[in-house]
Structure 1
Amino acid sequence: MTIVGIRCDAGARTGVGHLVRCVALAEELVARGVVVVFLSDLGGVAWAESQLTQRGLPWRPPPADPAALVATADELELDALVVDSYTLPPEHSAAVRATGRPVLAIVDGDFRGQTADIYVDQNLDSAIDVPGALGLAGLDYALFRSSVRSLRPAAPPVHTDARTPKVVAFFGGTDAYRAAPEIAVRLAQTGARFDATIIGADESLRDELHAVVPAEGQRFDIIAPTDDLPKLLAEADLAVSASGTSTWELLCLGLPAALVWVVDNQILGYDRTIARGYGAGLGRLGHLGVDAVDTLERLLTDAAARTELAQRAWSAVDGRGVERVADALLAKAASPR
């Protein structure tokens, strides 16, 4: 029996992107008979905790230092460790590798000092060249949860003007930078008709969203974070979100997307996605103006434009990245250094 530990965190400021893609990998590993244990600080975010508990994935608080991580690896009899963190000191993964256990590091361009036997960078046009390590780079290795993969259409959707466009706006499990109210305002300013579901990550955000007044022909449905988000997206005509891990899920679903960037580490992915025509760019959150409103209006009123985006998005991924990453990890675990 193979046992894999996953070291990742989530939180109100950290967000849930690291956890979501690790859950995707965990699902695939468990389906293959692997035992997976999360070593995670989930920041008290109930939605994050539910992603593990509802899947029966055990988790415990993260070890405080490299020695404690090695002790935990020994206690759990780990065969391999997955690391996905912007803040974990690199000494932690180095200590585990020193025991002979393989380490897989999920990164976003910058390795942040992590050393590993396998690096995974699922970002568009990424590249990895580390002597002695296996690099899995690009959208072929994008990690999608089963709830997303199961909803991937057999062909790219074709949009029509036959119904009021359905919009879903979401900004991670915490919306730490309070994007949802600003996007709701910009949607209302388009004057175009729509039926929008907007995720309010907490009660104060939902209060702000309820205060946004829709124009005639517009409707807002303000809801709390939900595990039904993939289903809502699969039924939508347009998504509005922040550039990041969730962007690749939108591509998998063939869903036209209008994207913003919020923090600096999203800029590169945002620019590449827009340049390839896989999404429509609204700009930087907090600085959205008339151009963003015009872009949203075009997407809401031009079914052909949405169809073109959908075709490009759907063709960018095949949804099987998690299988490829699991193959590589288990092969390495079976023949450690």
Structure 2
Amino acid sequence: MMLDSSTGAERPHGVSKCQYSRAARFPWSCPGTECKTLTPWKIGNAQNGCSVPSDARRMKTLVEASVRLPTMPLDVTVVFRVDASTKIGSGHVMRCLTLAEELAWGGRDCLFVCRATSGDLASAIRARGFVVVSMERAVTAPIQRTGSNESYEDWLVGGWRQDLDQTLASLVQVRFQWLIVDHYGIDHRWETAFRASRPSVRIACIDDLADRVHDCDLLLDQNLGRRPHDYAQLVPPGCKILVGTSYALVRSEFREARAASLVRRQTLQRPRRVLINFGGVDSGNVTEDVLDALAHVPGSHSLRVDIVMGLAAPHLKAVLRAADRSQFDTKVHVDTTRMAYLMTMADVAVGAGGGTSWERCCLGLPSLVLEIALNQRDVVRQLASHDVAYVVDQTSLVRSLLTAWKKIQSGERLLEMSKNASTLVVGNGASLVAESIIRGTAHETR
């Protein structure tokens, strides 16, 4: 077993030095003339005459300073209000980062407003080159719960009003055109009050639940099987509704790896390499349970297992110990930047029903899925009904895993599942969503 940190990862095969340079991830940096074509502004050093706009210089300064509040007026196009934590997980921030990077390639500056807490991923956002305004931990106050949103309202410590006030205070020095909200604890009350304070800002909501009213101009739900009528009574007239896996927020690296991954699956005979990933946090330590259960699979000693976890995962050390004592070749990849490569090389994945499902589908990777959160139930069922995954019951993990494993022991079956998965997600969803945002911005400024 070896710990593979992404900081030491080699440049992926087929990716040029220019594409993998700092400019590709930090559009407002000035690395030199090598990457002129990759940045929205002319690149140059001090001698050549740097022409990066003043706002871009401010953005770069703010990123490097890891500020909590902007200290000068700042113009951006899009602000994201999204959180990550050991309780919430990392999925909401990760999919927002995917959209932010797509918007950045279109020349739109983005800023993140996040609650400072354990596992907030602020450093990961800054590492991608974006400004993070970190709101201090809220003071606990009684929460007025409504409807079916009870458990998720607890995600806004102190309630929606306090969160809104802190968000507005964080953005008092920021001029922007779009606010994108990705938070199960936020509904129309927060959004309507925000709109009253910043009436010129358009609001987009990313949701999966279709269980609460939103006051927004654009609604995105990337889940499989979702239909526009699911939100017809939950958004105002005129709201643009984007639903289904056509809009799945999949990073460009998966789209680029898609062809090679699908070709590789043409010749598989049986699963030999397994990828285990339950998000960046895995607060329930399902990873270790699955690793132990795999030991019961016939011939497991010949398996090669890759485990992907985040550095903030609370059970990372326990998983590392379990990997050390496992009977098969196991590698733990922490905060890896090579997820597309690992999925491409895997024969089957064991994971949850979160946003990573769409990355697996894009690469045609057959899956064994577990429902580790209530909001994943519909996705897990849809994946099974479309014959791209087998469902594993966490309450009887060993028996259920063995049953599913027996069903994927032929290359023909793996290929069939792969083809079904690849038809659901082609990998251009982030581009389509970004285009809708950019068009809305252009319409607003005319």
Q: TM-score, normalised by structure 1?
A: 0.89
Residue 290 of structure 2 is matched in structure 1 by 183
Rate the CA distance shift 1:79–1:226 in 2: closer, same or farther, 3 A.
Answer: same
Q: Distance in 2 between matches of 1:62 and 1:82?
A: 17
Residue 151 of structure 1 is matched in structure 2 by 257
Q: What secondary structure, in the 3-state scheme, does the structure 1 residue paired with 2:118 have?
A: coil
Please point out which of 104, 116, 126 is paired with 2:216: 116
Residue 173 of structure 1 is matched in structure 2 by 280
The answer on 1:22 being equivalent to 2:96 is: yes
Question: Would the aligned equivalents of 2:227 and 2:244 in 1 still touch at CA under 8 Å?
Answer: yes
Q: Distance in 1 between matches of 2:269 and 2:350?
A: 21
Q: CA deviation at 1:77?
A: 0.4
What CA deviation, in whole Å up to 9, does each residue of 1:35-73 have, x standing for no partner? 100001263337x33431222111111485434434544
Aligned positions of 1:214-229 closer than 5 A = 214=327, 218-229=328-339
What CA deviation, in whole Å up to 9, does each residue of 1:247-289 have, x standing for no partner? 0110011111111111211111100110011222213x24324
Rate the CA distance shift 1:159–1:188 in 2: closer, same or farther, 3 A.
Answer: farther
What CA deviation, in whole Å up to 9, does each residue of 1:275-316 have, x standing for no partner? 011222213x243242321212442x3222111111111111
The answer on 1:264 being equivalent to 2:338 is: no
Q: CA deviation at 1:225?
A: 3.6
Q: CA deviation at 1:155?
A: 7.5
Question: Would the aligned equivalents of 1:86 and 1:112 in 2 still touch at CA under 8 Å?
Answer: no
Q: CA deviation at 1:111?
A: 4.9
Q: Distance in 2 between matches of 1:124 and 1:101?
A: 30
Question: Would the aligned equivalents of 2:275 and 2:343 in 1 still touch at CA under 8 Å?
Answer: yes
Aligned positions of 1:17-166 closer than 5 A = 17-41=91-115, 43-45=117-119, 48-62=121-135, 64-88=162-186, 90-98=188-196, 99-128=199-228, 129=232, 130=235, 131-153=237-259, 156-157=262-263, 158-160=265-267, 165-166=272-273
Q: CA deviation at 1:330?
A: 1.8
Q: Which runs of 4+ in 1 moved over 4 A?
A: 71-74, 161-164
**Aligned residue identity for 1:97:** R
**Aligned residue identity for 1:295:** A
Question: Would the aligned equivalents of 1:8 and 1:39 in 2 still touch at CA under 8 Å?
Answer: yes
Q: What secondary structure, in the 3-state scheme, does the structure 2 residue paired with 1:190 have?
A: coil
Q: Distance in 1 between matches of 2:381 and 2:171?
A: 39
Q: Which has the higher contact order (CA 8 A, sep 6+)?
A: 1
Residue 7 of structure 2 is matched in structure 1 by none
Please point out which of 206, 209, 219 is paired with 2:319: 206
Bigger drift between 83-92 and 187-196 goes to 83-92
Please point out which of 288, 294, 297 is paired with 2:403: 294
Question: Would the aligned equivalents of 2:260 and 2:344 in 1 still touch at CA under 8 Å?
Answer: no
Q: What secondary structure, in the 3-state scheme, does the structure 1 residue paired with 2:210 have?
A: coil
Q: Distance in 1 between matches of 2:253 and 2:283?
A: 24
For structure 2, the 5+ residue unaligned runs are: 1-74, 137-161
Question: Would the aligned equivalents of 1:190 and 1:294 in 2 still touch at CA under 8 Å?
Answer: no
Q: CA deviation at 1:207?
A: 4.4
The answer on 1:197 being equivalent to 2:306 is: yes
Q: What secondary structure, in the 3-state scheme, does the structure 1 residue paired with 2:258 have?
A: coil
Q: TM-score, normalised by structure 2?
A: 0.69
Higher Cα radius of gyration: 2
Q: What secondary structure, in the 3-state scheme, does the structure 1 residue paired with 2:262 have?
A: coil
Between Structure 1 and Structure 2, how many residues are aligned? 331
Q: CA deviation at 1:9?
A: 0.5
**Aligned residue identity for 1:210:** A
Residue 29 of structure 2 is matched in structure 1 by none
Q: Distance in 1 between matches of 2:271 and 2:241?
A: 44
Please point out which of 294, 317, 328 is paired with 2:436: 328
Question: Would the aligned equivalents of 1:7 and 1:40 in 2 still touch at CA under 8 Å?
Answer: yes
Q: Distance in 2 between matches of 1:111 and 1:34?
A: 31
Q: Distance in 2 between matches of 1:167 and 1:326?
A: 33
Q: Distance in 2 between matches of 1:57 and 1:312?
A: 36
What CA deviation, in whole Å up to 9, does each residue of 1:88-143 have, x standing for no partner? 35433223333131100000033544321100000001123243211000001100
Q: CA deviation at 1:227?
A: 2.2
Question: Would the aligned equivalents of 2:276 and 2:287 in 1 still touch at CA under 8 Å?
Answer: yes
**Aligned residue identity for 1:69:** T
- For the aligned residue pairs, the C-alpha RMSD in angstroms reads 2.4
Q: What secondary structure, in the 3-state scheme, does the structure 1 residue paired with 2:257 have?
A: coil
Aligned positions of 1:269-288 closer than 5 A = 269-283=379-393, 285-288=394-397
Bigger drift between 323-332 and 137-146 goes to 323-332
Q: Distance in 2 between matches of 1:223 and 1:232?
A: 10
Question: Would the aligned equivalents of 2:271 and 2:347 in 1 still touch at CA under 8 Å?
Answer: no
Rate the CA distance shift 1:186–1:80 in 2: closer, same or farther, 3 A.
Answer: same
